[in-house]
Every structure is written in C-alpha cells, then in structure tokens.
Amino acid sequence: MGSLGDHAGAAGGGNARVIAGRYRLEAPLGRGGMGVVWRATDLLLGRRVAVKELARDETLSDAEAEQRRERTLREARAVAQLRHPHVIVVHDVVVQDEQPYIVMELIEGGSLAGRIARGGPLDAHAVARMGIDLLGALSTAHDAGILHRDLKPANVLLERGTDRVVLTDFGIAQLSGATTLTEVGSFVGSPEYTAPERMAGERTGPESDLWSLGALLVTALAGESPFRRDSIGGVLHAVVFDEIRPSAAVDPLLPVVLGLLDRDPDQRMGAAEAEGLLRVYVETGRMPAVVRERPGAGLPGHSGRSGLPGLHGLPGRSGRGAPTPAERE
C-alpha cells in the first residue's frame, strides 16, 4: 500500500470507529488493492499509530476468506520479528468481526513515490544514503527468511523532519518455506519493479528484492522506472528482454544500478557489495570502477520464449545493459 503519509486527515470525531476496544480509526492515510491504512489513536497508551485494514472481498468463499486472514496474520508476525531502524514497527494485530487489523508505528511524512511526484528526482547522495538504509532493512529481513516481494517507491516512507527511510507494506511478503497463498492464480507485485526471474515463473529469493531495489534507485535518480511503458505487456517485455539504458541522471551510481539489474540472479550484485560501493560514494563523492561480466544480460535459457503469458515468441534481446557515460557522448 505504501503511501502512509501522502494524504493528510483531520483527527477523528464522534463518528470514528474503535476496534478491539482500543484503537480509534480517525482518517485514511492511503488506499490500495489490499485495503486501507488509517491514522489512528491507541486509546490505552495514548499514542498515534497506523492501522492497516484488509479489504473485504465478497467473492471469496468462507474457506478462501479464512486463508486470506491467515495470510494477513502471518505477514504481521513475520514483520513483527524484525528489529531494524529502517523497517516499519508492528505493534499489534487484532481481529474484530473476522476482520484482521495490523497496528503499526505511524510515520509522519510521505512516501518516496509522493516525494518524487511533488519534487522530481533526488540527488545522488540522498539516493545513495537511501540505498544503504534499504539494503540494511532487506538484509535483516532476508536473514530472518522473509522476502519483501513488492519493493517500490510507494512502499518506502520518508519521515518528516528526519528523512528517516522506512520500508513498509510487507503485504505480500513470503516466509521462506511457507505456502505463498498470494501466488495462487494471480500475479503478485508491481511489474515495473519485479525481477525478471519472477516474471518468467522461476525461483524467487533475496536477489529478486535486490533487482527491485535497483529499479527503485533508478526511479529516485531519474524520476521514473526504467521499465515504464504504455501497457502491461510492454512493461513485462521491458523487464525480461529490453536493453537497460538508464538516463544520464543515473551515472553517479551506475555500477551499483547495473549490478543490481543483472538479469541473471546468480550474477546479480549482492547486498554487501552494493552497500560497500554506496558507502564509498557517500564518503568520497566518487564511485569505484566495477567490472562485471554480463551487466543486464538476458535470462539464461530465455533467448526466444519468456515463459510469460502473452509474450511467447517475442524476440529476446540480451543487450549488455546501459551505455557508459562516455558512450553517451
């Protein structure tokens, strides 16, 4: 859902709902396919919180609705395990009238998506620092066996006054070894930020989150995703096949971006290497030269068929990746 601070709202009055006898829902902060996030007050502790209310789907059978509730509770427990300054804090999870609610810390501010929409791209130093913070958050989650699986600008919050970066909405997070209820019969995630191996129905692991981070860094630097196209089919084709050519705005962090956007997950840059390069840039203003064998290479075994519905037979383009700054000139 992500945009937990992009919409301001007045404090609730007499019509505000109270759930579990404790949390007063006062104003919506953001809406998405999974439901709505509310600005709320914890009446017991007297603090402001955010409450995620899962959207009801009246087309689901009782068994399917129960599966969905189970998944929501599982995601809350997963995130509640994590302790990291750049991961959203889950305070509580409650169920009322068979409806689950996740109670989280309230981040006063907006999402990265909202900031880009209002003010345009960020400078390279700010993006590098953000990348370091998000890599720390992802590494903590991955060490706990948790994949985010929907890393995008709307799911990165920026705290007003501190610019603290917070990764939120593990709404389709998957615990390694757990049944992925969200994968049954539907595509899960945001295509412009989804790794090509997931597009092709292949394995998904921590490296898939790192691809998403690479696409997010490009968006923060250039103002839009490198895979934005006019149609969903165009986006899918761009992710799996198109030559990756970030704009000149990406040049300061180009080695990290190309490393994270390697289409071969086995060759993709790891979190430790990416963090190390970004730290050097933050400290010196320069990015060390990085030699990678196949930046942006095509998926192994996908030279002509992508494994994607509707894309069979499209020619694969295994372009070597973005041009260097010198090549642009």
- Name, in order, each residue with C-beta under 8 angstroms of 186's C-beta and a sequence gap of 6 or more: none
Q: Work out the number of other CB atoms within 10 angstroms of the CB of residue 91.
A: 18
Q: How far is CA 3 from the centre of its chain?
A: 12
CA distances from 37 to 31, 102, 180 (A): 6, 9, 23
Q: Which two tokens stand for residue 98?
A: 């068979």
Q: For residue 190, which amino acid is it?
A: S
Q: Tokens 């006019």 belong to which residue? A: 230
Cβ atoms within 10 Å of 220's Cβ, excluding its own: 26
CA gap 28, 12 in Å, rounded: 10
State yes or no: is 150 an active-site residue.
Answer: yes
Angle between helices 206-222 and 124-143 (to 10 degrees): 160
Q: Which helix (H) or strand (E) holds 252?
A: none
Which of 133, 150, 169, 262 is flagged as catalytic?
150
Which residues does the annotation mark as catalytic? 150
